[in-house]
Amino acid sequence: MPPRPRITPVRPHSTRTRPKKPIATAVYISAPLPRPVPQPRGALLHCGRFFATSAGNHMKVGVLQFFSWPGRRGELSEVYDRAIERVQIMDQNGYDAVWIAEHHFSTYSVCPSIHMMGTHFAAQTKNLRIGTGVSLAAFYNPLRLAEEVALLDVLSGGRVNWGAGRGFDPKEFSAFGVDREESYPRFRENVEIVLEAWRSEKLNYAGEYHTYEDVMVLPKPLQDPHPPVWMAASSPPAVEWAGSMGRMIMMDPHSSMEAIAEKQAMYLDAREAAGHGRELQDTPVARLLAIAPTAEAAREVAENGARWTTGSYAKGGPVGGKDPVQRYVDEVIMWGTPEAVADMILENAEAGHLNYLLCAPLSQQSFTLFNEEVLPRIM
């Protein structure tokens, strides 16, 4: 069996010079609009994606779009308006995809209907792929979910990336009446039903939670047989299940790159054991970024972002005795000067742990510096 991937530590202040790699572009945060991103030399722009023409690895970069409303300051409509404007800029500048985050009952991200938001984004764009990041499938009637995603694919002209996940916020499980332990098999069954509904002229299915007989689920997705599918996978059981099913996976922004590398190795082992091969396909990895002209200023951005993240959504006690805010700063957030952050991204890409970056800047300045100074270094 091939050796597991090497785990590359993320070093915030690394200044080593790295060879430049051609990549795609993208970003997420409620921030002012970016300047147009220059296209990399030696790459072809097609349908909103960069395809490298030179030898070596290339990396896609996508947008993980949250709709954060800290302190409920200002009008919520302004949050949505800024997102629409950003999506239009992305569409004009060759971004790969916008991935829309679904959350409920929290100002961490106020977007309870990502399929409706995706339809609005699709109407404002021509090239950008519309990703669900993710549909919380355990909370849906699976037939309704199949219909909504298929309709989005039709209306977008076949631009949907379907990401599905179980969720982890206790408030959501409680409010939707879904038992937390039961959500694992319910999620898996719902995903199975959605895929079967797309593939079948009439759905016949008998499961633990749902039974259907001769149900004609319409519309069918425009992409044949259906949109590409990703599973959000954080826990070892979820990672192994996705690998055993041969599904692509998405990694959340709350794990360290070391932990992500270990999960990727676990995923590849499960894929190989189930006969799906050992290829690590496009694997979106969400990364929180804090970028500033100096390391000291970047650390302050990282600390503020960690406090907001741990206080508003990713709550929990200390991990291994470490304060959760400190854990994010030390292990999770990529922070530093533009040169240092670019070096971290390239380290992980070259080690094979990062072939699709979901950018998540934690401040307006982080967004600007990523767009203007980090991208040229990693292109």
Q: Could you tell me the pLDDT band of residue 319, with boundaries at 50, 70 and 90?
A: low
Q: Could you tell me the pLDDT band of residue 321, with boundaries at 50, 70 and 90?
A: low
Range list of β-strands (E), 129-192: 129-132, 135-136, 160-165
Q: Could you tell me the pLDDT band of residue 342, with boundaries at 50, 70 and 90?
A: very high
CA distances in angstroms from 242 to 76, 98, 122, 220, 234, listed in the order given: 36, 22, 28, 24, 11
Kindly report which listed range (53-57, 68-72, 136-140, 305-309) carries the lowest average pLDDT score.
53-57
Map tokens 């302004």 to a residue.
78
- The larger pLDDT score, comparing residue 225 to residue 371, is at 225
- CA 176 to centroid of chain Cα atoms: 24
What structural domains and CATH numbers belong to the chain?
43-289 (3.20.20.30)
Cβ proximity of 132 and 118 under 8 Å:
yes
Per-residue model confidence (pLDDT) at position 379: 67
For the segment 234-245, what is each residue's pLDDT rounded down to a tens digit?
Answer: 889 999 999 999
- The yes-or-no verdict on residue 18 having pLDDT over 60 is no
- The larger pLDDT score, comparing residue 42 to residue 306, is at 306
Of 157, 8, 121, 65, which Cα lies nearest the Cα of 361?
A: 65
- The yes-or-no verdict on residue 166 having pLDDT over 90 is yes
Q: Could you tell me the pLDDT band of residue 377, with boundaries at 50, 70 and 90?
A: confident
Share of the chain above pLDDT 70, in %: 82
- The yes-or-no verdict on residue 267 having pLDDT over 70 is yes
Q: What is the DSSP letter of 103?
A: B
- The yes-or-no verdict on residue 34 having pLDDT over 50 is no
For the segment 167-217, what is each residue's pLDDT rounded down to a tens digit?
Answer: 989 999 999 999 999 999 999 999 999 999 999 999 999 999 999 999 999
Mean of pLDDT values over 329-333: 96
Q: What is the pTM (predicted TM-score) of this model? A: 0.82
For the segment 60-109, what is each residue's pLDDT rounded down to a tens digit?
Answer: 888 889 898 988 999 999 999 988 988 887 788 777 899 999 999 999 89
Please state, rounded to an integer, the average pLDDT across all residues of the chain.
84
Q: Could you tell me the pLDDT band of residue 222, with boundaries at 50, 70 and 90?
A: very high
Q: Could you tell me the pLDDT band of residue 47, with boundaries at 50, 70 and 90?
A: very low
Residues in the chain: 379
User: What sign does the CA torsion over 125, 126, 128, 131 have?
Assistant: positive
